[in-house]
């Protein structure tokens, strides 16, 4: 009898496995009176019905798609209760819309063309990838930006008829190349999927791959991007580097980024602004002041001379010490996630990283509160890569509203323990073994600045590991890691 009661209680309290779960950020920043698009990320079998309580009047929700559109409300904070229902149950989540001066209140999540295609991109490729962001389910976990990188416009002097020709029209407006016949239609298409779309250019005369850039046309180009309907700009220093006389001068390095920021501010659209200048003049110290929502802190992760793992760990672990400058609205960017099918040695192929290295990569980017920009081919996602990208407990740590960048709290030889404070008072901890053989790693409470009994949860496997006091110890494989969430029990 007792057992039946237990089962009954469990059945009513525990959410059914197939009940919806609302994922993604819990806070969303916009500027007032701009076009608004947010798709509620929710997992669970369809059909699903969405509703929202407390939605500002200027916004409307499509109850079938979960898409919120309209015009962002006047300055203020709006707490909305999002709800998703399917035949297995209902999920509810509080969602704060902050209409003010700051975008990217949590690290942006999306995808970029660069590491799967370099400059060999086209309208068709971008549409197929947008389709795949939806059909793979990535959109249901909070991925929302489809970012076009270098190679979309004209390459002055190129003999290739597809990318050569006039870079601007008679009025100086930027022209896309022949592989992008209608940029507005492409932006509309991506928006029609509930996603956002990003574009790429630089402040110099040319981009890194030799395509036309914005030097002398900054405002005009920004206006063109807005007319087409873009939502995001990656601004890549490249040839402007030669125009900087003192490479350590903050003023000189900041100038082109401030200029484009001023141009973006005048537009009637929200643009998330990504500074890409490889960490010059300690960009993390002034990237936010220059208007950046995230800034690359290093050279490319993909420019690995030795192995990819060596480069991933060099770039990722070197974010330590930069945590002071990261937070809501402005994030350190250690570059994209090179997992799944990526261009490697100029060929589209599976990432050379081992499974343990890939877990460590995503663990590190998540505890760092780094933007999660997938670099692989979304039309060729295998289950392992999809699982790595869509673990909602891992994403919750990345997207936590406190917006802390995790930092190392203990190091010894090749082993490290990192920690990140979370908004609900719990703590994320990541244990890493960067060495070439198995190692024991202990997360000690005194290093984590916590006390007493802790409920320890393994976030990757969604398993409660039990109560621990003083420390948690694990044996980690070569290049392996563990990500935990610890909740104090004696409060």
Catalytic residue set:
236, 300
Residue 28 or 180 with smaller CB distance to ligand GAL: 180
Q: Which of the stretches 53-61, 207-215, 370-378, 410-418 binds ligand GAL when contact is defined by CB under 6 A?
A: 207-215
Structure tokens at 218: 């900054």
* 212, 221, 231, 236: which one binds ligand GAL (CB under 6 A): 236
DSSP-assigned beta bridge partners for residue 70: 36, 59
Residue 95 or 240 with smaller CB distance to ligand GAL: 240
Q: Which of the stretches 47-55, 154-162, 202-210, 432-440 binds ligand GAL when contact is defined by CB under 6 A?
A: 202-210
Residue 50 or 278 with smaller CB distance to ligand GAL: 278
Min CB(116)–ligand GAL separation in Å: 12
Min CB(295)–ligand GAL separation in Å: 12
Min CB(210)–ligand GAL separation in Å: 9
Min CB(149)–ligand GAL separation in Å: 5
- The whole-angstrom separation of Cα 190 and Cα 145 is 9
Pairing of strands 272-276, 232-236: parallel
Residue 136 or 277 with smaller CB distance to ligand GAL: 277
- For residue 308, give the nearest of 479, 456, 491, 109 by alpha carbon: 479
Asked if residue 201 binds ligand GAL (CB under 6 A), the reply is no
Asked if residue 208 binds ligand GAL (CB under 6 A), the reply is yes
Asked if residue 114 binds ligand GAL (CB under 6 A), the reply is yes
Residue 55 or 199 with smaller CB distance to ligand GAL: 199
Structure tokens at 211: 């395509």
Asked if residue 300 binds ligand GAL (CB under 6 A), the reply is yes
Contact (CB, 8 A) for 99 and 76 = yes
Asked if residue 280 binds ligand GAL (CB under 6 A), the reply is no
Min CB(6)–ligand GAL separation in Å: 54
Asked if residue 400 binds ligand GAL (CB under 6 A), the reply is no
Asked if residue 312 binds ligand GAL (CB under 6 A), the reply is no
What are the distances in angstroms from CA 373 to CA 109, 144, 192, 472?
A: 6, 10, 21, 31
- The whole-angstrom separation of Cα 359 and Cα 437 is 17
- The whole-angstrom separation of Cα 437 and Cα 175 is 53
Min CB(221)–ligand GAL separation in Å: 16
CB atoms closer than 10 angstroms to residue 464: 10
Helix (H) or strand (E) holding 262, with range, is helix 250-265
> Which residue shows structure tokens 């997207």?
399
Size of the site for ligand GAL (CB under 6 A): 10
Contact mark string toward ligand GAL, 333..372, x via CB under 6 A: ----------------------------------------
For residue 34, give every residue at least 6 positions away whose Cβ sits within 8 Å of its Cβ, in sequence order, or none. Answer: 71, 72, 268, 269, 270
- For residue 478, give the nearest of 432, 444, 430, 410 by alpha carbon: 432
Which residue number places its CB atom closest to ligand GAL? 208
Min CB(112)–ligand GAL separation in Å: 8
The CA-CA-CA angle for residues 309, 312, 315, to 5°, reads: 145
- For residue 160, give the nearest of 100, 220, 118, 120 by alpha carbon: 120
Q: Which of the stretches 161-169, 177-185, 204-212, 449-457 binds ligand GAL when contact is defined by CB under 6 A?
A: 204-212
* 276, 315, 353, 417: which one binds ligand GAL (CB under 6 A): 276
- The whole-angstrom separation of Cα 391 and Cα 376 is 17
Q: Does residue 394 come out as left (phi exceeding 0), alpha (psi in the -120 to 50 range) or beta?
A: alpha
Query: Which positions from 139 through 178 interact with ligand GAL, judged by CB under 6 A?
Result: 149-150
Query: Which positions from 4 through 43 interact with ligand GAL, judged by CB under 6 A?
Result: none
Min CB(305)–ligand GAL separation in Å: 15
Query: Where are the strands (E) in 318-361, listed by range?
Result: 331-333, 341-344, 347-350
- For residue 149, give the nearest of 209, 100, 217, 206 by alpha carbon: 209
Helix (H, G, I), strand (E, B) or coil at 249: coil
Asked if residue 209 binds ligand GAL (CB under 6 A), the reply is yes
Sites of contact with ligand GAL (CB under 6 A):
114, 149-150, 207-209, 236, 238, 276, 300
């Amino acid at each position: 009898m007792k057992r039946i009661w237990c089962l009954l209680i469990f059945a009513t309290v525990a959410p059914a496995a197939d009940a919806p779960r609302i994922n993604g950020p819990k806070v969303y920043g916009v500027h007032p009176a701009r076009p608004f698009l947010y798709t509620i990320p929710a997992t669970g079998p369809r059909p699903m019905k969405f509703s929202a309580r407390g939605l500002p009047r200027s916004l409307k929700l499509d109850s079938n798609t979960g898409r919120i559109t309209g015009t962002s409300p006047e300055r203020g904070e709006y707490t909305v209760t999002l709800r998703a229902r399917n035949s297995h149950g209902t999920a509810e989540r509080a969602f704060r819309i902050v209409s003010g001066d700051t975008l990217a209140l949590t690290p942006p999540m999306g995808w970029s063309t660069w590491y799967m295609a370099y400059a060999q991109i086209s309208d068709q490729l971008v549409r197929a990838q947008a389709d795949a962001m939806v059909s793979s389910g990535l959109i249901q976990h909070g991925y929302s930006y489809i970012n076009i990188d270098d190679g979309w416009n004209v390459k002055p002097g190129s003999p290739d008829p597809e990318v050569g020709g006039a870079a601007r029209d008679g009025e100086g407006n930027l022209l896309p190349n022949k592989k992008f016949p209608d940029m507005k239609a492409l932006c509309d298409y991506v928006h029609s999927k509930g996603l956002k779309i990003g574009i790429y250019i630089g402040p110099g005369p040319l981009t890194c791959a030799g395509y036309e850039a914005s030097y002398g046309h900054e405002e005009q180009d920004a206006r063109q991007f807005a007319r087409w309907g873009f939502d995001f700009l990656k601004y890549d220093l490249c040839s402007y580097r030669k125009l900087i006389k003192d490479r350590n001068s903050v003023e000189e390095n900041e100038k082109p980024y401030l200029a484009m920021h001023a141009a973006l501010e005048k537009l009637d659209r929200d643009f998330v602004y990504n500074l890409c200048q490889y960490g010059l003049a300690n960009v993390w110290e002034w990237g936010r002041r220059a208007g950046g929502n995230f800034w690359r802190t290093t050279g490319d992760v993909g420019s690995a001379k030795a192995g990819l793992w060596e480069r991933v760990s060099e770039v990722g672990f070197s974010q330590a010490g930069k945590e002071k400058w990261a937070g809501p609205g402005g994030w350190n960017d250690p570059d994209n996630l090179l997992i799944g099918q990526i261009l490697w040695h100029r060929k589209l192929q599976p990432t050379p990283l081992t499974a343990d290295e890939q877990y460590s990569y995503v663990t590190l980017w998540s505890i760092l509160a780094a933007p999660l920009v997938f670099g692989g081919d979304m039309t060729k996602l295998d289950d392992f890569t999809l699982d790595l990208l869509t673990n909602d407990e891992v994403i919750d740590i990345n997207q936590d509203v406190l917006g802390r960048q995790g930092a190392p709290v203990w190091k010894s030889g090749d082993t490290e323990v990192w920690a990140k404070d979370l908004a609900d008072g719990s703590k994320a901890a990541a244990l890493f073994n960067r060495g070439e053989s198995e190692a024991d790693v202990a997360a000690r409470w005194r290093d984590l600045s916590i006390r007493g009994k802790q409920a320890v949860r393994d976030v990757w496997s969604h398993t409660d590991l039990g109560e621990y006091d003083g420390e948690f110890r694990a044996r980690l494989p070569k290049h392996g890691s563990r990500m935990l969430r610890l909740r104090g029990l004696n409060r």
